[in-house]
A and B are shown apart, each in its own frame.
Chain A
Amino acid sequence: MAAVPTGHVLVVAVLLVCIGAFGVLLRRNLLFMLLSLEVVLNGAALAFIGAGSRWQQPDGQAFVLLIMVMAAAEVAVGLALFLQIHRRVSSLDADALDSLRG
């Protein structure tokens, strides 16, 4: 079946992580920041799958399962926080959250 070099899998994973980090840095909308975090987590998951395939162990897949659980919890709490912020500040801008500033 697949004879993909592990290095290439890791390159794709790193590209996904960098794109996600780029999104987090670039966007000001909190919803897009959460969306970019999903891309980062998927890059990490791809690295785990590639390593699990390289050593023929199921541990990588088990870890990706835990990453998915973490992503689901993160999205649930993050979106609830997002709704709460939107209700209070009535803006989607991360820069609007400066009420702690003196």
Chain B
Amino acid sequence: MSAVFYIASTIAVVAAFLAVTRSDALHAVLWLLVALFGIAVDFLVLGAPFLAALEVIVYAGAIVVVILFVMMMVAGPAASRGQERRWLPPRAWILPSLLAAGLAALAVTWLAGAGGPAAEGTVIGARRVGMLLFSDWLVAVELASVLLLAGLVGALYLSSGSEGPARANGRRRQPWPDPDVTGPGRGGAAD
């Protein structure tokens, strides 16, 4: 079973790298989907089948689809491909690569021998997680529901900024005033 972990982890890491570096937005989201499935398999191997299912349902099912919707609303992925290429010149890669590689090297050398082996064979199912959540972690569950409500209200308010029900004193309420200058920024990238 541990071979499954290493295969799935390799797939997840490679797919995650491709997801953050592709210039085609649609391809990036699909690679993110692959990475999420790999991580879900990791969860399964580590004895968390409930969270593996939730990873597929919530992340791959809901969050990725929402990102995809917004992507389709904003611009056709094919149209923005050339723009993404222009935004990623080779010299833009240098500093992020150095920083991320340094951080990864430090953490990997520090962590590679840490922690000892995982205990074998015990699956922590939805029952134990649920018992914990609704006894000791009850306040956290309530706070999570409040957070979801805040996210819902915030998203509704922000997305109804220019038209829709959010009005005050007969005029449109906007999250922030219109910028005076809407010309091309430093990058000169008004599409």
Residues on the A chain within 8 Å of B51, using CB = 45, 49, 61, 64-65
Interface size on B, residues (CB 8 A): 105
| Least CB distance, A17 to chain B, in whole angstroms | 8
Within B74-108, the residues touching A (CB, 8 Å) are: 74-75, 80, 83-84, 87-88, 92-93, 95-97, 99-101, 103-104, 107-108
Contact status A3-B182, CB under 8 Å: no
Contact status A3-B133, CB under 8 Å: no
**Residues of B that sit less than 8 Å from A by CB:** 1-2, 5-6, 9, 12-13, 16-17, 19-21, 25, 28-29, 32, 35-36, 39, 42-43, 45-48, 50-51, 54-55, 58-59, 62-63, 66-67, 70-71, 73-75, 80, 83-84, 87-88, 92-93, 95-97, 99-101, 103-104, 107-108, 111-124, 128-129, 131-133, 137, 140, 144, 147-148, 150-152, 154-159, 161-162, 175, 178-182, 184-187, 189-191
User: Given that A26-B20, A83-B73 are known contacts, is A32 also in contact with B25, CB under 8 Å in the complex?
Assistant: yes
Residues on the A chain within 8 Å of B144, using CB = 65-66, 69-70
Residues on the A chain within 8 Å of B152, using CB = 76
Residues on the A chain within 8 Å of B35, using CB = 16, 39, 42
Identify A19's interface contact among B75, B100, B115, CB under 8 A: B100
Within A1-55, the residues touching B (CB, 8 Å) are: 1-12, 14-16, 18-23, 25-29, 31-32, 34-36, 38-39, 42, 45-46, 49-55
Q: Report whether over half of chain B's contact residues are helix, strand or loop; otherwise say mixed.
A: helix
Residues on the B chain within 8 Å of A8, using CB = 5-6, 9, 112
